[in-house]
Structure 1
Amino acid sequence: MTESLEAAFITFIRLQQQSIYRLAFSYTKNEQDALDIVQDSIQKGWLALEKLTNTEQMKSWFYTILVRTAIDFLRKHNRVLLIGDEALQQLPEHDTYENLDLQQALQQLPLQLREVIILRYFEDLKIDEVAHILSLPVSTTKSRLYKALKLLKVELEQEEMMHHA
């Protein structure tokens, strides 16, 4: 393994640590569990680093490891994959989630829809990258994204009406 690949991985983890934690937390709703998943994922990533052929794909590659580690964790601990509404409420303050209405609306989404929104819009990944990370066909990813956006729009419109009432 080249030193530059190791250095690139370390830099990536440092720069993305908030996003990595936030994504893990969206699965667990628990700080310690999220930190465990992040730690596991970094270890798995480090051990598999030589398999990464293109450093430009590091984010997509690492998020795949993170999502699979989170899902394995939930299965191992018999946690349900459809995680409840307060998941994003306990996230550390971060500028990405400043819009409280959006944050509250996101909380209403089941995990399968929320994870697509987080990866696509908060992590700015392309649809095919999101599909790859979640091991889904692109068509399923698009339909989940569409459904999530439709639900969010309804949720946000209801918020708007409540504020203006």
Structure 2
Amino acid sequence: MQNKENVYRLAYSYVQNSEDALDVVQDSIQKALATNNLKDSGALKSWFYRIVVNTSLDFLRRRKKVKVVDDHTLQRHSAGREDHYKDFDLYEALNKLSPDYRTVIVLRFLEDLKIEEVAEVLDLNVNTVKTRIYRALKILRIQLENIEGVNQNG
């Protein structure tokens, strides 16, 4: 499968656990093969991303957002050779966003989709996507400034 790392990363951005992300990807593949309602083969990527996003959201609803941290993630965030605090703050702020806002940020900036592709994946109007991105970035900026202020004063 082409872009398997991107699909896994997209699922992981929602479920925050490597095993669960693999389950989401596997479930998404099964759903894609079962439905097979793709009308335009040129839209394969956005069609499958939509399935991954919806499957991830379904998974979170079932799990009620209980996060289990796997050993790999725990080691990555524990004391080590490199300082990951800057990225950690960003991911922490990103995880605090509502799913609607987090989804557009992940697809636009982490998966590097164009705004039109994000709209297609989420089945939204382009202007709705632009508005959500604008609001999400504003919230992220405020959250990161607050974290930075706490870190400087603390």
Quick check: TM above 0.5? yes
Q: Distance in 2 between matches of 1:33 and 1:72?
A: 12
Which residue does 1:128 correspond to in 2? 116
Residue 10 of structure 2 aligns to which amino acid in structure 1? Answer: L
For residues 92 and 61 of structure 1, do their structure 2 counterparts lie closer, same or farther at Cα, with a shift above 3 Å needed?
farther
Superposition RMSD on alpha carbons, in Å?
Answer: 3.3
Tell me, yes or no, if the aligned pair for 1:41 and 1:66 is still in contact at 8 Å.
Answer: yes
Alpha-carbon distance, 1:86 to partner: 8.8
Residues 5-45 of structure 1 deviation map (CA, whole Å, 9 limit, x = unaligned): xxxxx2x1xxx333322322333345444322201222344
Tell me, yes or no, if the aligned pair for 2:15 and 2:67 is still in contact at 8 Å.
Answer: no
Which residue does 1:4 correspond to in 2? none
Q: Distance in 2 between matches of 1:22 and 1:111?
A: 16
Residue 21 of structure 1 aligns to which amino acid in structure 2? Answer: Y
Alpha-carbon distance, 1:67 to partner: 1.7
Residues 28-78 of structure 1 deviation map (CA, whole Å, 9 limit, x = unaligned): 345444322201222344563975522xx4432320221233344456x3x
Residues 93-113 of structure 1 deviation map (CA, whole Å, 9 limit, x = unaligned): 6xxx97222112112212111
Secondary structure at the residue paired with 1:124? Answer: coil
Confirm whether residue 21 of structure 1 aligns to residue 2 of structure 2: no
Tell me, yes or no, if the aligned pair for 1:85 and 1:109 is still in contact at 8 Å.
Answer: no
TM-score (norm 2): 0.70
Which residue does 1:41 correspond to in 2? 28
Which residue does 1:159 correspond to in 2? 147
Equivalent residue for 1:65, pick from 32, 51, 70: 51
The worse-fitting range, judged by mean Cα deviation, of 99-108 and 41-50 is 41-50
Residue 124 of structure 2 aligns to which amino acid in structure 1? Answer: L
For residues 72 and 149 of structure 1, do their structure 2 counterparts lie closer, same or farther at Cα, with a shift above 3 Å needed?
same
Tell me, yes or no, if the aligned pair for 1:21 and 1:34 is still in contact at 8 Å.
Answer: yes
Which residue does 1:5 correspond to in 2? none
Contiguous gaps of at least 5 residues in structure 2: 77-83
Equivalent residue for 1:141, pick from 114, 129, 140: 129
Which residue does 1:113 correspond to in 2? 101
Tell me, yes or no, if the aligned pair for 2:11 and 2:24 is still in contact at 8 Å.
Answer: yes
Identity score, percent: 46
Contiguous gaps of at least 5 residues in structure 1: 1-9
Q: Distance in 1 between matches of 2:102 and 2:138?
A: 12
Count of aligned pairs = 141
Tell me, yes or no, if the aligned pair for 1:22 and 1:91 is still in contact at 8 Å.
Answer: no
